[in-house]
Structure 1
Amino acid sequence: MAAAKPTVRSISQQAFNEMVQENIDDLGMDPAEALADAIETLTLQGVDLSGIVTDTLPGETNPVIHSIDRIKQLQLLDWTDEAVVDEVLGLLDGLGELLRVEGSGNGAIGARNGGVDAMYEVCLKARAGGCGSVLVKGLHVLAAFLLDLQSTETFRQRGGPKMLIEILNKETENVNILNSGFSVVAAASTGNEVIKESFVELHIDELIVTIMKKHTIGTIPCLYDAIRVLLAADDNRVVASQVYGYARQFAKVGIAEVLVESLKDGISSPGLVSATIALKAVAVNDEICRSVAEKGGIDSLLICIDESGVQGNKIVAKACCSLLSKLAGSDFNKSAIVERGGLNRLITLSSRLADDPSVLQEVMTIICTLCLRSPANASLAMEAGAGDLAIQSMQKFPLSYQLQKNTCLMIRNLVARNPENRPVLLSNGIEKIIRNAKENHKSCKDAAVAALRDLGLENYNS
């Protein structure tokens, strides 16, 4: 039986403030001392203080809470009054600045002090009044407040998904509103399977296709984030996530096809990386992976990989290789990649970006997948230089555990059904290199053992 998870204790802002005040009134502490004592005492008791204002002395007002409270007051006034709207805009701008302060915890403070409710009402008022600038900023701040299950559940219970879909359906031409809106979709759906289901039931997949066909790739970056999050099984409360079915549904309405088209703009496209990540999330089975190839996706990816190597663009190279690795899981696609010179192109990329282990480990994964149960591809990979690449990379980056592991897995597939490849690798010292990886990285042990075994070594597990 699994051990029970320890219960995390929490405290409200009011209770925290009262504790500080008691230190002042009952124990005679000065305000700074009272504040420090309350923080120390609660921390020792294991109380979660995230979202609690702990840097404001009694009598002072936190700027995030002050702004939220003032926005709540303004919601009671007439929003046809320009002065009211201007003040709301100023407060939202101020909140935006506060939320950009790294490590401040201002997002959690806002979420714990009515920020989600306040921004929900702002969006309702702005939509009703046609205040586009307020709506953009309100959605932006709302997304920053959706940080955890408590805040996303507040959003769900208020009817947030329905409101948001209504806004997005109405504003399909407004790039700024769409981008802010999809940032809320991504934030609200993160770690919350119920909200993902709500958006899917509201036909967000069809809406996404409509919007993607209207706008140039890269103009709505948060849309691609939303696709990725909606299709991620990241809610640990759920035993069997439904996102696999959602991915198939997304592909059925044409999202995969639109994403493939976006790859054809090449490396110059500002949305290329986002599109590859989104397409990787959609490509969950052989049928979808094969359809990507049939629509020209592999051709486009290989061109992008070539161009990223020439331009030294490691971010694009890594993203494209990661997607190609996913697509290579289809036997049909393996043949397509190899027939288009994919192995040689990957080795060329590796030589051009030989100083980046994160790119190299993606290349190893693709070659490993291409060689799985395919002796012909394993022979072609060795001819292209995969064996030399493995040896050089493992020697150059001994501390990169993921590269070491991926390379061991690739070596295994190079030799498992191709005994003729074994002496070539062994004569170049691969055994010692693999044993070093096995000894130095616990996560490499299984992959290293498998590689040593399939290299024909008897003492592979010693």
Structure 2
Amino acid sequence: MALRRITQETFDAAVRENVDEFEMDPAEALREAVEQFQSQGVDLSCIVKAVPTEPSDDKQQEQTHKILQTLESLRIATESEDVSKTKAASDIKRFTEECLLGFAQRYLAAQKGAYPIILSYCQKSMDEQEAVLAALSALAALTDGQPDLLDAEGKRFLLDVFEKHGADSCVTRAAISTVRHCCLKHEQNRQDLVKAGVLPLLTNAIKQHSECADVVKEAAGALRVMTFDDDIRVSFGQAHEHAKMIVLQHNGLKVLIESAKAHDGNTSVLSELCATLSRLAVRNEFCQDICDLGGLKLMMTLLADSYESAELVRQVLSAIRAVAGNDDVKDAVVKAGGVQLIVIAVNRHMTVSPVCEQGCACLAVLALRKPKNCKVIMEEGGVLAAVQSMKAHSGVGNVQKQACMLLRNLVSHQPNYSQLILEMGVEALILQALRTHQDCGDVAKAALRDLGCKVELRELWTGKGGGITN
């Protein structure tokens, strides 16, 4: 059942009523209002759960939230020539800070017309580096989770910023952050900005500011968002086409791999770069290109040297999984000792379900149609790592699914492994996954079938039967 929604005004009125009519103190009045609406099934995720405050401006008598007071002050600053730049700069900084408190603040500001006010301030600040940085930071904060706010004028402004302030790493980072926020879950914004030429701006930012970890990380994230297909309002997006453009037209693979080499030791940046590489491995030849450019060697090195970072390990495993879609790369991974490193990584982070999921998925891909690889996986303890993952994360469907896929791939062409695997108690684990996780159904049954276990494979409809009667 869908949750009910209320306006900010309705919530604030309830808080004021608790104070005025029931003589509660502000904290108690707020808590009572929250509990009251939640008990009625109201969604409060877009509601600022704070007591409205008295405005600092004596001319304004109505109580309201701080972010709206700041927004009003900004509106006056953008419309008047009399307001000092120092005052406006202070207001834009306070507005950004309020937006960063949470989505509810950003949503309320947007509902009260914040976007055109902030964009106007951005445009007026274009010629001053410090001012445009503050303005862009506010725009990036406001659009976080609200990509629909961006309009054609805003897109032109963002592209102009790259052209005019591309040499400044801080301004570039803020512009890229805004692009990323506005393209997440918004296919039209992605397509419009790609057509306008944002992809070379992002790859060039990585090259131009190769020593700036913040810019590299932000730009890699923005490139990755361009390959998403996450807008439920659109039936078919351009994710695949955008990935091809990044690789073929803008040399994206080399840019990312060279950048990763330059930031050796920075796990945060390396995680972002590996995540983006995995999104670009959409073609067989791209997987091979990543290997030829030194990407696979880099991934093996990261697994060996940075195995303590669970997040980095997860992203590296995801990248290996992606590039191993190429059969030649599968063999290269195994030859480079990848199986042993993957098993070590999974065992090291056995309590972290995303690592276990990606580790099992990697081994499953390496085993697919590769009997020699299956032998290595068996010898290096890959099955035991999968079994332990299933036991440690029985409630995580994705872990169960990938582990079942690995077990199935190991025995589909090598049935002689079945008895060894069954002796580890996998049949009970697979049956439990089958009962617990609906989306594990097909792969779990396939694993049981190929392991030689009893499994019910129901044929729901054969296409045969009597004719249609009126």
Interval containing the TM-score (normalised by the shorter chain): 0.7 to 0.9
Residue matched to 1:93: 93
Q: Distance in 2 between matches of 1:327 and 1:460?
A: 35
Residue matched to 2:378: 382
Segments of 5+ residues of structure 2 without an aligned counterpart are 54-60, 459-470
* Cα deviation, residue 53, structure 1: 8.4
With over 3 angstroms needed to count, the CA separation of the structure-2 counterparts of 1:318 and 1:30, relative to structure 1, is same
Q: Which moved more, 1:410-419 or 1:40-49?
A: 40-49
Matched, 1:143 2:168: no
* Cα deviation, residue 101, structure 1: 2.4
Please state whether the residue corresponding to 1:167 is helix, strand or coil.
Answer: helix
Matched, 1:274 2:272: yes
Give the one of 282, 285, 288 matched to 2:283: 285
Aligned length: 441
Please state whether the residue corresponding to 1:231 is helix, strand or coil.
Answer: coil
**Residues 279-308 of structure 1: CA deviation (Å, up to 9, x unaligned):** 222222222222111111011011101112
Give the one of 165, 174, 178 matched to 1:171: 165
Residue matched to 1:232: 228
Segments of 5+ residues of structure 1 without an aligned counterpart are none
With over 3 angstroms needed to count, the CA separation of the structure-2 counterparts of 1:361 and 1:46, relative to structure 1, is closer
Letter in structure 2 aligned against 1:407: A
Matched, 1:183 2:170: no
Q: Which moved more, 1:272-281 or 1:236-245?
A: 272-281
Q: Distance in 2 between matches of 1:452 and 1:162?
A: 56
* Cα deviation, residue 30, structure 1: 8.2
With over 3 angstroms needed to count, the CA separation of the structure-2 counterparts of 1:68 and 1:327, relative to structure 1, is same
* Cα deviation, residue 321, structure 1: 0.7
**Residues 7-57 of structure 1: CA deviation (Å, up to 9, x unaligned):** 9877696x998x88xx99xxx968989x99999799969798836788438
Residue matched to 2:466: none
Residue matched to 1:366: 362
Q: Report percent identity of matched pairs.
A: 21
Q: Which moved more, 1:379-388 or 1:436-445?
A: 436-445
CA contact 2:263–2:269 (8 Å) conserved in 1: no
Letter in structure 2 aligned against 1:394: M
Matched, 1:219 2:245: no
Please state whether the residue corresponding to 1:284 is helix, strand or coil.
Answer: coil
Note the 1:100-179 alignment, pairs <5 A.
100-102=100-102, 105-127=104-126, 130-147=127-144, 152-157=147-152, 159-179=153-173
Letter in structure 2 aligned against 1:164: L
Q: Distance in 1 between matches of 2:6 and 2:252?
A: 42
* Cα deviation, residue 445, structure 1: 3.1
Note the 1:179-328 alignment, pairs <5 A.
179-216=173-210, 218-220=213-215, 221-252=217-248, 253-265=250-262, 267-269=264-266, 270-309=268-307, 312-328=308-324
Q: Distance in 2 between matches of 1:177 and 1:225?
A: 16
Q: Distance in 1 between matches of 2:47 and 2:348?
A: 46
Residue matched to 2:70: 67
**Residues 63-88 of structure 1: CA deviation (Å, up to 9, x unaligned):** 2111111111111334xx8x721111
**Residues 240-284 of structure 1: CA deviation (Å, up to 9, x unaligned):** 101211111111111121011122246503411111122222222
Letter in structure 2 aligned against 1:135: V
* Cα deviation, residue 443, structure 1: 3.6
TM value normalised by structure 2: 0.84
CA contact 1:298–1:324 (8 Å) conserved in 2: yes
Please state whether the residue corresponding to 2:52 is helix, strand or coil.
Answer: coil
Q: Distance in 2 between matches of 1:100 and 1:52?
A: 13
Q: Distance in 1 between matches of 2:66 and 2:144?
A: 19
With over 3 angstroms needed to count, the CA separation of the structure-2 counterparts of 1:350 and 1:267, relative to structure 1, is farther
* Cα deviation, residue 314, structure 1: 1.2
Please state whether the residue corresponding to 1:219 is helix, strand or coil.
Answer: helix
**Residues 377-417 of structure 1: CA deviation (Å, up to 9, x unaligned):** 22221122212222333234434433222111110001111
Letter in structure 1 aligned against 2:427: E
